[in-house]
Structures are given as C-alpha cells and as structure tokens.
Amino acid sequence: MTVQTTNKTLITEEYPVPPFKKQQQPMPGLASKMDPRPDHGETSYRGSGKLTGRKALITGGDSGIGRAVAIAYAREGADVAINYLPEEESDAAEVVQLIEAEGRKAVAIPGDIRSEKFCQELVKQAAEQLGGLDILVNNAGRQQFNESIRTLSTEDFDATFKTNVYAMFWITKAALEYLPAGSSIINTSSVQAYQPSAILLDYAQTKASIVAFTKALAQQLGKDKIRVNAVAPGPYWTALQVCGGQPQEKVEKFGESAPLGRPGQPAEIAPLYVTFAQVNNSFTSGQVWCSDGGTGTL
C-alpha cells in the first residue's frame, strides 16, 4: 500500500522486498539481467542544477551505485566520464544515452583498473575529453564471498585488493594533477568496514582501508582545498550481489534484516554523492556517510 502525504507519494513501500528469485550471473554481472531490475533513478531522479558545469569521473559507472551517481550528476548539470569493464559495455551504453539525454557530455572508458598503467590513462583520458576534472568518485568494487580463509586463494585476495584499494590509490594520485581547489573526491566504502561478515573477509578489509584512506587523505589535501569523503552503503540491490557477492540463499533474502525490511535501490543513495560533491558543502571533509536502511551502523 502506498503512503500518501499532502504533496507527494512516498516511494519507500513501492520498492521490491524479499524474497527474490534465484539468480546468478558470471562476473562482473549486468544490471539489465537482474530480476527485479534495480532502480538507478532512470525515471525517478529529478535534478535542480546543483552541479552545473562540473566535470566528474566515476569508476564502476555502468551499473549499481556508480550508474545511479552518473545519472544524478548529469541531471544536476555535470559532464560525466564513466569507467567499466569491457564485458559491461551493454549496461554502459545505456548510461551514456541517459547522460546525453540531459544535454551533458558523456565519456565512456572501458578497462581493468587493476592495472596501474590503465588507471593513469583513465584519468588522463577523462580529463582531456571532459575538458577538466573536479569530481572523482572511486566507486568500482569487487566482492566475492568465501566461506573460509582456508579456501580464500591469494589470487582472489589480490584481485579484491587491486580493484578496491590499489586502483583507488592509483586513480586518486593521477587525478591530483587535474583537480583544482574546490574539487571533491568521494570514495565508496561499506558498512562491512564496521560490521564485517564472516564470508566477506577480504572485501571487508578493503572497505575498512577505504575509510582510513579517506580520513587521512582529507587531512593531506585540506591545504589544497580539495575535500575527501566517503559513502558507506549497507545492503543495496546491485549486480555485485548476484555474481558471487552473496551465496544464493542470501540473494533470495537480501536486505531482509534491515529495519526497512528490504535492500536499498541505487537511486536512493545517489543523493548522498551529490551532496558531497556540492561546492556549498565546502567545510565537509574526512567524513563517512552511512546508508544502510536503519541499523545505525555509523
């Protein structure tokens, strides 16, 4: 049943609740093949010029939270470059169309951020094609569940750290050549940094590292008037979950334990990234903003 107010319809009860259908995809997964398909704000997000004239690079911008942020930024007036894996091209093409539909410039740069050389080239291409850079969103992530440290291979451990931690370091370092005073760096952490799940040993470690990176870097870059913040999502309905991020029995009940009784949709967290990017939040840096459906983790 929909909740009515005097001037609008609240959307909380309209979003899907578990149980969900069994579904599994090979990595890296496509949002277009999920059931139900996530809401990234394609039809729901309304902008109001909060980021007019800004230029943003978003990693993992093809689906999930990165896609929602790309849509929101474009509708707030920003030009946007997105990075994604070549296997995610079909999802990325949709994002490019959505950005361009807002009259904004869209730049699509596929490639694997586990390579330092590619990360450097990614930033260079984004800055050159956008004509500058003043927002960096380090969002791309790898999450693969594993029941025990005994079966967690060095190869998988390394891949998670390269994607979630090393790439963020490489991309941010390269971006500092282009980011002027007043720029904003926004990193995607997770509630896993504070309440790690047993089956996400390596993933949780990387998300805790991102919190420390954010807070330390904010202190380093304060003198340059560059702000650094992070968003820590709880259970969000994204392709990350259905391509090995969770076992099947947890996918079916995903988000059930949140006080709101469901997982979040990417469209619901994008406004936090908009807020951190706004120039009028010029005294907010070194912060981690949690969105987890009511558990009050942070």
Give me the active site residues, please: 203
269 close to 66: Cβ distance less than 8 angstroms: no
Q: Which two tokens stand for residue 31?
A: 């949002």
Cα angle value 139/140/143 (rounded, 5°):
120
Length of the chain: 298
Q: Kindly state the helix (H) or strand (E) to which residue 73 belongs, with its residue range.
A: helix 64-75
Asked whether the CA dihedral 270, 282, 123, 169 is positive or negative, the reply is negative
| Radius of gyration of the chain measured on its C-alpha atoms | 18
Q: In the chain, what is the greatest distance between 2 CA atoms, to the nearest angstrom?
A: 56
d(CA 20, CA 14): 15
Q: Which two tokens stand for residue 83?
A: 């990075």
